[in-house]
Amino acid sequence: MQTKTTAVIGSGRIGRAWAIVFARSGFDVKIHDASDDMLKGAIPAIRESVEDLASFNLIDEPVDAIVARITPCTTLAATVADVDLVQENIAEIVDAKRVLFAELDRLTKPDALLASSTSGLPASTFTEGLQGRARCLVAHPVNPPSLVPLVELCGAPWTSAHTLQRARTFYEAAGQKPVTVDREISGFLLNRLQGAVLDEALSLYEQGYASAADLDTVMRDGLAMRWSFMGPFETIDLNAPGGVVDYASRYGGTYRSIAATRMPFDWPAATLDKLDAERRAVLPRERIEERSRWRDRRLMALLAHRRALKDEE
Ligand SMILES: NC(=O)c1ccc[n+]([C@@H]2O[C@H](COP(=O)([O-])OP(=O)(O)OC[C@H]3O[C@@H](n4cnc5c(N)ncnc54)[C@H](O)[C@@H]3O)[C@@H](O)[C@H]2O)c1
């Protein structure tokens, strides 16, 4: 089979992690950044992350073999010529994405897939006037995609079904878990679900029902135990002997009355300052980076655990 080739544009947090995803799947990767310093720092940082993966037995080849597939490129044209897929990861600024996608449409092979990692900008906001707009889509990862497999594929109204199907096959071949958003919607799926949980957690906090630490515990030691391996629908299906309809007949009324008392959170500064003070007391600002590395190691341990279970099943 011919080696797949990818271009990663923007070598910040997300771009570097995508480079690892593609390279560890055997794809050739060209990586580009408008900042020379970011581009220079990319390979050493990627190597360090791949070494971390190796320490958790999460890669099947030597670190050097994976890193060697990634080539930094100083010009956009050299980065994207001849690739099968471009993964864009520049700043979350719609005008910058619009300019870049126009360039990508001009500089790539006509059948290359053009995907954006944007967290919140629908593809229709930056691809409308392009000749090749049918091959553009959002492929929204979770930070970092090298440790969290979900990728949300969401086209604009003019993205072709063939593009979405090809993208799904491509990300599956890269070892990710693609889902398709059937109609364009801001926030896609993950951030809408995360937003709903955050909204309620912040609202309960604002109204003084619990401390931030206890609300985090509710998620970590309660809901997230199941949610780390099954979704909310499978969860309720198993929580009543007759499945989802039985669950709704038992608890639907409770959820309806909770919904009637829900107070949406309007992100007021005073509540966020209070939350920040509580968080800074347990994690000073200068230790956020170190704790993020700890989070990534926990994710690696979780991935290793999932892999071991898969081998057993
Ligand atoms: N950080 C997250 O949690 C997260 C999660 C999912 C998706 N995303 C999305 O991924 C994208 C990148 O986010 P990030 O956190 O990696 O940002 P980042 O700031 O770490 O990296 C952005 C990089 O893009 C470079 N850049 C900016 N304009 C450029 C251009 N025109 N050409 C080439 N390079 C350019 C910058 O120099 C920088 O290195 C955003 O659209 C964001 O919404 C972020």
The DSSP code sequence of 42-95 is HHHHHHHHHHHHHHTT--SS-HHHHHTTEEE-SSHHHHHTT-SEEEE---S-HH
12 lines ligand 1 (CB under 6 A): yes
Residues with Cβ within 8 Å of 312's Cβ and at least 6 positions away in sequence, in order, are none
d(CA 139, ligand 1 centre) in Å? 13
45 lines ligand 1 (CB under 6 A): no
Q: From the alpha carbon of 90, which atom of ligand 1 is closest? A: 24
Bridge partner list, 72:
31
Helix (H) or strand (E) holding 6: strand 5-9
The pick from 16, 30, 33, 73 for probing ligand 1's pocket by mutation, whose C-beta has the most ligand atoms within 8 angstroms, reads 33
33 lines ligand 1 (CB under 6 A): yes
**Residue ranges covered by each domain of the chain:** 5-181
Q: What is the DSSP letter of 285?
A: G
89 lines ligand 1 (CB under 6 A): yes
Read off the amino acid at residue 168: R
Q: What is the pLDDT along the chain (313 residues), one digit of tens a residue?
A: 688 999 999 999 999 999 999 999 999 999 999 999 999 999 999 999 999 999 999 999 999 999 999 999 999 999 999 999 999 999 999 999 999 999 999 999 999 999 999 999 999 999 999 999 999 999 999 999 999 999 999 999 999 999 999 999 999 999 999 999 999 999 999 999 999 999 999 999 999 999 999 999 999 999 999 999 999 999 999 999 999 999 999 999 999 999 999 999 999 999 999 999 999 999 999 999 999 999 999 999 999 999 999 877 7
d(CA 19, ligand 1 centre) in Å? 13
Architecture of domain 5-181: 3-Layer(aba) Sandwich (3.40)
